[in-house]
Amino acid sequence: EIFVPLKSPLEPPLAYVRPTSTMDLKPGHPHMSIEGRVYLPYLNQWQGLSHNLVTLCDEMARVFGLDPPVFARVSAAGGAAGAGSGGAGARGGSRISPSPRREEPSSQSPRPPPTYRDAVEDTDKVLEKRLTERLQENLKHFYRDIGLEIDSEYSKQKTLQTNSQRIAADLGAFAQQKRDLVAQIQVAQESVSRLDLWLAERASEADQAAAQQHKADGSSCGFDVDRVLTAMDPCSEKILELVSENTAIEDALFALDRALNHDTIDITTFLREVRKLSRNQFLCRAHTKKLVEVQTTDAHPDRQHLHP
């Protein structure tokens, strides 16, 4: 008898020798316990992917074919008959010829011929052999399918482990990039803070200077940048306006970049505004360059050949 555990084929099966009514277990067998449990190296070295029940049955047949685990039981009737015949031979040395007895017809029913039992036993053996072959074939297909499924699961597990390692590496790289960006943002914020402080100090100094100047001139206190900066001619005034517009566009681009970093605006709005401002900045710079060339040509007529 073979018992298959629930965790098969990871755990080895349990095999037992069950003797018939006319057989007894052989005591002291090297591959069998007193209860009939089978112990083989094949079971001790059981591997779920390479071992199966068919090979186990072949191994048990080979081992028990060399050293049978059971022996025929001696019947009590045969022993009593042998003892009776021995006692009769031991009494007296004279031989007494049995008196002839008249055979009487037997009243018992006739026994079946010996071939009837042989035929029944042969049929049982054939059926048992067929069932065994069918079971072995089913087990062979079952373990083959189980082996294929286990191989497939091992392959999937290996792929998952590889993907997990790659994801862990990517997460580590992203975390490092995030730390670097946070450090750069902090440095930029500190720089902006220092610039704001410097601008505030310069503005305060300018206000104080303007106040002192206006106080000295006897005019009202106040400071107007547009009134302080005046152009000498219309061309210079236009250049001043264009330079101011270019600087304003630079400030706007910087503000858009900070807003994108702080997730204040989305990428679509950022790209649309940057495209618009870049186009205006290009036109502004081209116009400024053209005005500077014209102003330079008017101031130095001898360099007119340098500009087409």
Burial class of residue 297, CB neighbours in 10 A (0-12, 13-18, 19+): middle
% of residues, the chain, pLDDT over 70: 76
Considering only residues 98 and 262, tell me which one the structure prediction assigns the higher pLDDT: 262
Pinpoint the alpha helices (H) of 12-113: 41-44, 53-66, 76-90
Return the DSSP state at 85.
H
Q: Which of 5-14, 99-108, 165-174, 294-303 has the lowest mean pLDDT?
A: 99-108
Residue 118 has what pLDDT?
57
For the chain, counts of helices (H) and of strands (E)? 7, 4
* 131 in a structural domain: no
The token duo for 288 is 């400024």
* 56 in a structural domain: no
Of 7, 127, 4, the residue nearest 57 (C-alpha): 4
* 300 in a structural domain: yes
For 196-239, what is each residue's pLDDT tens digit?
Answer: 999 888 888 888 877 777 776 655 445 556 665 666 788 888 88
* 298 in a structural domain: yes
Tally of domains in the chain:
1
For 76-124, what is each residue's pLDDT tens digit?
Answer: 544 444 444 444 333 343 343 444 444 444 444 444 444 545 555 677 7
Whether the per-residue pLDDT at 183 is higher than 80: the answer is yes
Domain, as residue range, for 242: 230-308
* 262 in a structural domain: yes
Which pTM value belongs to this model?
0.28
Of 233, 210, 234, the residue nearest 221 (C-alpha): 210
Whether the per-residue pLDDT at 279 is higher than 90: the answer is yes
Whether the per-residue pLDDT at 40 is higher than 50: the answer is yes
CA 257, distance to chain mean position in Å, is: 40
* 34 in a structural domain: no
- Phi, psi for residue 35 in degrees, rounded to 5: -80, -5
Q: Which residues of 31-56 are buried (b: 16+ CB within 10 A; e: fewer)?
A: bbeeebebebebbeebebeebbbeeb
Burial class of residue 26, CB neighbours in 10 A (0-12, 13-18, 19+): middle
Residue 61 has what pLDDT?
92
Residue 213 has what pLDDT?
72
Whether the per-residue pLDDT at 282 is higher than 70: the answer is yes
* 304 in a structural domain: yes
Tell me the average pLDDT of the chain: 79
> Omega before 9 cis (within 30°)?
yes
72: left (phi over 0), alpha (psi -120 to 50) or beta: beta
Residue 189 has what pLDDT?
93
